[in-house]
Amino acid sequence: MIMNSLTPIELYGSDYYFLQNFKNDQRSIAIDSIRKDFPLINKNINGHPLIWLDNGATTQKPRCVIDALTTYYKEYNSNIHRGSHTLADIATKRYEEARRKVQQFLGASLPEEIIFVRGATEAINLVAETYGMKNVSYGDEILLTTMEHHSNIVPWQKLSEDTGAVIKVIPINEQGEILLEEYDKMLTTRTRIVAITHVSNILGTVNPIDQMIHMAHSKGAIVLIDGAQAACHLSVDVQKINADFYVFSGHKAFGPTGIGVLYGKKPILEKMPPWQRGGGMIKNVNFNKTEFNKLPEKFEAGTPNIADAIALGEAIDYMNKIGLDKIESYERALTQYAMESLSLVPRLRLIGTASNKTSILSFIIEPYPPDKVANHLNKYGIATRAGHHCAQPTLERYGLKSSNRASLAIYNTKKEIDLLVKTLCSIK
Ligand code: PMP
């Protein structure tokens, strides 16, 4: 097995990592201790210790997130914003605290720029159906990249059907990198929306979103970034990159399912019509007319997902305690190690070899169907994914209908990658 240098990280022992960049202030990451925070990571599956390499689908949850959910229901369960009693005050305070945690996590300037939704999918639908319906018309153009998840394709197709706008697809090269010269040519004064994934869920490519946003703005288009595969892997600063919208799902960032985030710049959100309508999002209602609430309530109709929003806030605290910069360095190095190790498996073809890549490893092993490979790994407690990963056009770019995918998070180790590779080598 190769043990190449993994700059900028040096490996000490199996699971103890010291970031060279931070040598002077002695900061380090102890993966063993992080692993102890995740109850499910330490279970046996099919008689083997679980190796969770399906983080692209969802991450496991640290104990503090699970505890936040039970504490809410055991100690201060209440509806928010409209109560006139102690528990309602506590629940409201915690829910709004969670919003401020997300605001800081994304580097947004104001808490009201953070809208709680069900997940990335819902956030994109919200933008397509409100901003899109108001600002996009016949003959306008919507640019997507070849490497989008279905959730960042299908809502725009509906917008295109409803308005007569045209969808154009930015090509990628064999490594899985966006062809920026082509993108530049495709941007026109008819481009209204550019929707780009921050990190591809099949290729692991980290896209140059700051540059792409700058290019789109120079033509007057707005940009939505799909951060579903970035949120627990990279630090994000929406003001620095100047994103108009940024979306992510809590469950892919150590939080619960059923909660996610839409960030939008306040002046843009203010001009958008509300999406769902009902209680909570109104200021005054009579049978002739309704006056809508201010941000963020305007986009949070009905009782929100209070417990899960609070638990997402806990997940953010957890990531901040480790440090997103350290998480990113560690995972990039582990990804590099995994790529080098996987390349030693006979007949394995890696899909996605961009120079800027993190956390996602897609591959096929001739002549085995991906299902067979995933089932073989599962027998040894190794959870990966086989299929189209909800990004069929990406696989199609490589002439494939299906692939295997191992996706990493902060609790994965070099030892687990070695076991993955060893088990892949034993498939018959
Ligand atoms: N975008 C990307 C890049 C994703 O990987 C996913 C989830 N696989 C989504 C969007 C959709 O996320 P969710 O199902 O949580 O809404």
Taking the CA of residue 148 as reference, the ligand 1 atom at the shortest distance is 3
If phi over 0 gives left and psi between -120 and 50 gives alpha, with beta otherwise, what is residue 139? left
| 337 token code pair | 């190690």
SS3 7: coil
**Residue whose CA lies nearest to ligand 1 atom number 12:** 120
Domain ranges of the chain: 2-53+324-425, 66-320
Helix, strand, coil share (%) of the chain residues, nearest 5: 40, 20, 40
- 393 CA from centroid of ligand 1 (Å): 15
Q: Is position 64 annotated as part of the catalytic site?
A: no
Contact 225, 264 (CB under 8 A): no
Taking the CA of residue 57 as reference, the ligand 1 atom at the shortest distance is 8
- 192 CA from centroid of ligand 1 (Å): 23
Q: Pairing mode, if any, of strands 282-285 and 290-292? A: antiparallel
Pocket test for ligand 1, best of 390, 392, 407, 408 (most atoms within 8 A of CB): 390
Residue 20 pLDDT? 40
- 271 CA from centroid of ligand 1 (Å): 27
Query: Beta strands of 24-148 (E only): which ranges?
Result: 29-30, 44-45, 48-49, 51-52, 114-117, 141-145
- 3 CA from centroid of ligand 1 (Å): 33
Q: What is the C-alpha separation between 299 and 30, in angstroms, rounded? A: 40
Among candidate residues 64, 232, 390, 425, the one labeled active-site is 390
Pocket test for ligand 1, best of 144, 149, 150 (most atoms within 8 A of CB): 149
Residue 29 pLDDT? 79
- 4 CA from centroid of ligand 1 (Å): 33
| 420 token code pair | 């993955």
The fold of the 2-53+324-425 domain, in CATH, is Aspartate Aminotransferase, domain 1 (3.90.1150)
* Pocket of ligand 1 from Cβ distances under 6 Å: 119-121, 149, 151-152, 197, 201, 226, 228-229, 249, 390
The fold of the 66-320 domain, in CATH, is Aspartate Aminotransferase; domain 2 (3.40.640)
Chunk the chain into consecutive blocks of 10 residues (it has 428) and report each block's average pLDDT, rounded to whole numbers.
Answer: 35 39 50 96 96 98 98 97 90 98 98 98 98 98 98 98 98 98 98 98 98 98 98 97 98 98 98 96 95 97 98 98 96 97 97 98 98 98 97 98 98 97 96
